[in-house]
């Protein structure tokens, strides 16, 4: 005979003790508290503070129980079997008393139920287990409740003020979660693994309820997603941590969101009013940046290193998204570049950048140049008489302010209160400055922009000029002393005496010493008959001239050694 029918029947296994025949009699339910043995008695021994839902007829429940007789003798327990009792309520699958006692319960509520025989196993009992006319006591703890009409429930408890994009089908997301049962028992957590859960949404990579519950989320949003078992792991559970017929609750924080079809996005935050040039492929940029993930997590900053990031663009020196995002920028521009992972560091990530992470770069462009650039000269003022122009060999005195392209002041002769003095073309300044000072007249004011390959190069000047920096010099030329013809350090302004050696050899001993030579040359300069190259140490020039005449290096010059420049072109002495 089938179990649950009237008459004699075999002893049921303990798990089925509550799945017995229902008398069908309408028994009244007593008020809360224990009373007569003839009525169903319910004592609510613990009720949770929050009770968003109670058991109704037709619901499916999972609960633990201990069944005893009035004398305390135990006849059954779900705890002994290590699994909850799972059953529909109000559908005749339970004894009538239990069907009635479960109605109105909250998850985590504990009830002590006293069921009279007429609502239990009546006068027949269960042979060998439940004597006839037995009053049964059940200590019940409700673990789970759901209904076949349930849908995924979403409760957002935090939403960021700005939400420019939400999860759509086929998006790829990175999120953290805590997974619990309805009673709060934790079964899994990405936080414990210290790694986000990364997946596509809406294409079957997730349980159906999670696929649905994630839709519409913003990055930074936090929500509770409650999933009934038929949209989760169903009757069988996952075979490990999740039992069959379990409702699941996921506390989700969305960290990242992109779609494989995404390109970079650019937000221009500050564009300078004056933008004469925009970056192109092949340019070399110096820029500062802060790098964060979409949820604001910081991963890198050039500011923290107190040094710009310097790179060519459009040539694969940086990730593809930055190569693209740095095109078309102005010097001084600030922009935000959002880079999807397939244009960033991909599925593997890098360092402290997780795999499949969207990257956000807030950049500030300090300067850029192209290796093919030459200097740029802008003349702001020229005096009415600007006929004498600077050339190689001229001795110049000028003031300048030196700055970077972003306006950072590097140096200023005005602040020092003295001019900067050089011989043009002598290698006393960087090549770009040498070029920028040419063909300039006294009183002229000009701005010279010097690319790094004509300035201080990749190395810069430690503590003063950054490597690969474009330099800006605002210059005013104050004095120009004409130089000598190229190759000369001394020239005659008048006819050279045919008895030059004799004039230098004042004591007439046929030998000229350095002192005699120096005295004579300075005398010619003083009277205007000769001229030393301006801007150099006069004594050093004279000494070099003497050394060139002293062919044998004996510290004196004799007539046979003495020659003028036009007599021996390879020397510059006379």
**Strands 298-301 and 284-293, sheet pairing:** antiparallel
Q: How many helices (H) does the chain have, and how many strands (E)?
A: 11, 29
Q: Which runs of E-coded beta strand occur in 391-460?
A: 395-404, 409-412, 420-423, 445-450
Distance between CA atoms of residues 320 and 248, nearest Å: 41
Nearest residue to 254 (alpha-carbon basis) of 167, 359, 168, 179: 167
**Strands 471-481 and 420-423, sheet pairing:** unpaired
**CB 426, CB 533: distance < 8 Å:** no
Element (H, E) at 517: helix 514-526
**CB 234, CB 207: distance < 8 Å:** no
Which residues are known catalytic residues?
289, 299-300, 319, 345, 361
**CB 130, CB 75: distance < 8 Å:** yes
Question: Is residue 356 classed exposed, middle or buried when 0-12, 13-18 and 19+ CB atoms within 10 A define those classes?
Answer: buried
- List Cβ neighbours of 277 (8 Å cut-off, separation of 6 or more): 330, 331
At 484 the three-state DSSP class reads: coil
**Which two structure tokens, joined as six digits, stand for 502?**
């004799």
**CB 342, CB 256: distance < 8 Å:** no
Place of tokens 């006293």: 114
Residue 257 has a CB neighbour count (10 Å cut-off) of 26
**CB 335, CB 269: distance < 8 Å:** yes
Please provide residue 478's backbone torsions phi and psi, each rounded to the nearest 5 degrees. -105, -30
């Amino acid at each position: 005979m089938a179990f649950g029918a009237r008459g004699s029947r075999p002893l049921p296994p303990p798990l089925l003790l509550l799945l017995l025949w229902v008398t069908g009699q309408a028994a009244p339910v007593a008020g809360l508290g224990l009373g007569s043995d003839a009525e169903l008695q319910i004592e609510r021994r613990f009720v949770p503070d929050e009770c968003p839902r109670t058991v109704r007829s037709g619901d499916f429940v999972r609960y633990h129980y201990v069944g005893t007789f009035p004398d305390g003798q135990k006849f059954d327990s779900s705890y002994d079997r290590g699994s909850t009792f799972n059953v529909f309520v109000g559908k005749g699958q339970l004894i009538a008393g239990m069907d009635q006692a479960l109605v109105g319960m909250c998850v985590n509520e504990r009830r002590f139920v006293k069921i009279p025989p007429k609502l239990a196993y009546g006068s027949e009992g269960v042979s060998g287990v439940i004597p006839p006319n037995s009053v049964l006591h059940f200590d019940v703890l409700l673990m789970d409740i759901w209904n076949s009409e349930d849908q995924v429930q979403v409760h957002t408890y935090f939403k960021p003020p700005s939400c420019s994009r939400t999860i759509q089908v086929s998006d790829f997301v990175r999120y953290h979660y805590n997974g619990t049962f309805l009673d709060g028992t934790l079964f899994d957590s990405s936080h414990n693994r210290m790694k986000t859960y990364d997946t596509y949404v809406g294409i079957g990579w997730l349980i159906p309820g999670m696929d649905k519950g994630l839709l519409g989320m913003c990055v930074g949003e936090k929500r509770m997603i409650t999933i009934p078992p038929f949209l989760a792991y169903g009757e069988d559970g996952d075979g490990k941590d999740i039992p069959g017929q379990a409702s699941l609750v996921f506390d989700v924080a969305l960290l990242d969101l992109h779609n494989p079809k995404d390109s970079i996005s650019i937000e221009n935050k500050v564009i300078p009013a004056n933008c004469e040039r925009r970056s192109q492929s092949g340019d070399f940029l110096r820029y500062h940046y802060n790098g964060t993930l979409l949820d604001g997590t910081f991963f890198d900053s050039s500011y923290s290193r107190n040094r710009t990031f310097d790179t060519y663009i459009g040539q694969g020196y940086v990730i593809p998204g930055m190569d693209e995002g740095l095109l078309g920028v102005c010097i001084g521009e600030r922009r935000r570049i959002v880079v999807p992972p397939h244009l960033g560091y991909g599925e593997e990530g890098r360092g402290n950048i997780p795999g499949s992470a969207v990257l956000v770069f807030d950049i500030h462009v300090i300067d850029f140049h192209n290796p093919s650039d030459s200097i740029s000269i802008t003349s702001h003022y020229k005096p009415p008489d600007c006929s004498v122009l600077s050339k190689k060999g001229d001795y110049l005195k000028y003031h300048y302010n030196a700055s970077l392209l972003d306006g950072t002041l590097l140096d200023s002769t005005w602040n020092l209160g003295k001019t900067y003095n050089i011989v043009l073309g002598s290698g006393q300044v960087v090549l770009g400055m040498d070029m920028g000072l040419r063909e300039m007249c006294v009183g002229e004011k000009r701005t010279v922009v010097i690319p790094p390959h004509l300035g201080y190069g990749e190395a810069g000047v430690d503590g003063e000029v950054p490597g690969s920096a474009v330099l800006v010099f605002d210059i005013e030329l104050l004095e120009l002393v004409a130089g000598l013809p190229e190759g000369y350090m001394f020239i005659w302004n008048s006819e050279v005496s045919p008895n030059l050696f004799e004039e230098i050899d004042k004591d007439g001993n046929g030998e000229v010493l350095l002192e005699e030579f120096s005295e004579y040359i300075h005398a010619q300069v003083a009277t205007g008959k000769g001229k030393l190259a301006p801007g150099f140490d006069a004594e050093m020039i004279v000494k070099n001239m003497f050394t060139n005449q002293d062919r044998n290096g004996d510290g004196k010059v004799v007539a046979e050694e003495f020659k003028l420049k036009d007599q021996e072109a390879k020397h510059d002495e006379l």
